Amino acid sequence: MVTREALHEELNPFQIAKQQFNRAADYLELDDSTRHVLSSPKRQLIVSIPVKMDGGDVQVFEGYRVQHNIARGPCKGGIRYHPNVTLDEVKALASWMTWKCATLGIPYGGGKGGVICDPKSLSINELERLTRRYAFEIAPIIGPDRDIPAPDVYTDEQTMAWIMDTISMVRGHTELGVVTGKPISLGGSQGRSEATARGCLYALREACKVKRIDLKGARVAVHGFGNAGANIARLVAADGAKVVAACDSKAGLLCESGIDIQAALQHKAKTKSLAGLPGARAISPEDIVTVDCDILLPAALENAITLANVGQVKAKIIAELANGPTTPGADRVLADEGVFLVPDILANAGGVTVSYYEWVQDQYSFFWSEKQINESLEQAMQTAFNSVYETAQRYDTDMRTGAYILAVDRVAEATRVRGIFP
């Protein structure tokens, strides 16, 4: 039953981001001045993107780039192409990136970009023209020492290659470090494509130790089957877990005996959807978060777990591969029910961590092996998980608030030491 409170729950991602920040700021007893500085985006750029379509007409798309904070280093954050992109969503994602980088101890601030479009309806040539014009429009504020974009929803290494080339042509020299998540042939890093999922796997293993759950044999549900969702399904299955449910934007699957992940990956690559996978029962994608499982991995978009459905969640551990999949109201319910939640700014930080490694490699033109990348990532995720867990225990609070207390304190200290110019 949907409660009246659920109907009026705040679902605006930027308002949610501010609630999460303020909760940590209360624990840290931050003064009002510091709160104003840390909760306000440094820069918001809105651009019009005229694109010549294949039919000869010109359509104008709207795009954004938000830089939230540079106290600890240049901004870092993905670019998403989606019909429902809003400025508030991009502002929220930029602020989450600030806290994510601080949680991992990476010397970046948060940034994010987005273009309002339906990439599935655009040809490859239209996507290239859209991407190059968007890159040109945001060129004045991005660069390896200013703001480094990366892939996000419906963007990939090809998108990053186009952006890198466009910026390089504008500046008259090859600028490898202007984006991360590039193809290996253009200064990309080994291990980057699966880094978000692999980082989540390392955090999930630590969470299983806390909850005394053996990942081998655990029943797992994966909500979302893009790059992160498909990779985490493959990785947990390799660890011996049983993926009993999964979904993409079109279809959901349920199989109590476990979905054959390799078959699902091949079926998705062939048909562009999970729909019709043999050996699994079709269910609504929205129902994935409520299936009977030990571990739930939200890997789609924001607001997947809200007050409207949190009462039906049966998982003992939730690790957030998506950004902002759980609302503050649902957070409180999960904490009361004893569900162990690994928050997004920790669980999905593997992507930005290996992006950082890629940026470092590009700066020095000295590249590491995949083994080195994965070993460094595992150590970084374990260290961050333990720091967050210890902070949560010290303040007697949940893991999300523990992560925010840790991150906000680090950014506040950097801001205090630097001071306010002029």
Q: Are 380 and 362 contacting, i.e. CB atoms less than 8 angstroms apart? A: no
Residues 207-234: b if buried by 16+ CB within 10 A, e if exposed: bbeeeebebeebbbbbbbbbbbbbbbbb
Question: Coil, strand or helix: which one is 153?
Answer: coil
221: phi then psi, degrees, rounded to nearest 5: -115, 135
Q: Are 312 and 305 contacting, i.e. CB atoms less than 8 angstroms apart? A: no
Please name the residues in contact with 336: beta carbons below 8 A apart, sequence gap of 6 or more.
none
Pull the structure tokens for residue 382.
């374990």
Reported in sequence order, the residue ranges of 217-355 that DSSP labels E, i.e. its strands, are 219-223, 242-247, 252-254, 281-283, 295-298, 317-319, 340-342
Distances (CA, A) of 258 to 89, 253, 285, 298: 35, 10, 17, 18
Instruction: Tell whether the torsion through CA atoms of 254, 194, 163 and 123 is positive or negative.
Output: negative
Catalytic residue set = 112
Q: Are 120 and 48 contacting, i.e. CB atoms less than 8 angstroms apart? A: no
Q: Are 170 and 139 contacting, i.e. CB atoms less than 8 angstroms apart? A: yes
Q: Are 200 and 350 contacting, i.e. CB atoms less than 8 angstroms apart? A: yes
Please name the residues in contact with 372: beta carbons below 8 A apart, sequence gap of 6 or more.
none
Q: How many helices (H) and strands (E) does the chain have?
A: 14, 12
Q: How far is CA 126 from the centre of its chain?
A: 26
Reported in sequence order, the residue ranges of 31-165 that DSSP labels E, i.e. its strands, are 43-52, 58-67, 75-82, 109-116, 147-151
Beta bridge partners of 252: 247, 283
CA 105/CA 15 separation, integer angstroms: 25
* Sheet (strand 252-254) strand order: 281-283, 252-254, 242-247, 219-223, 295-298, 317-319, 340-342
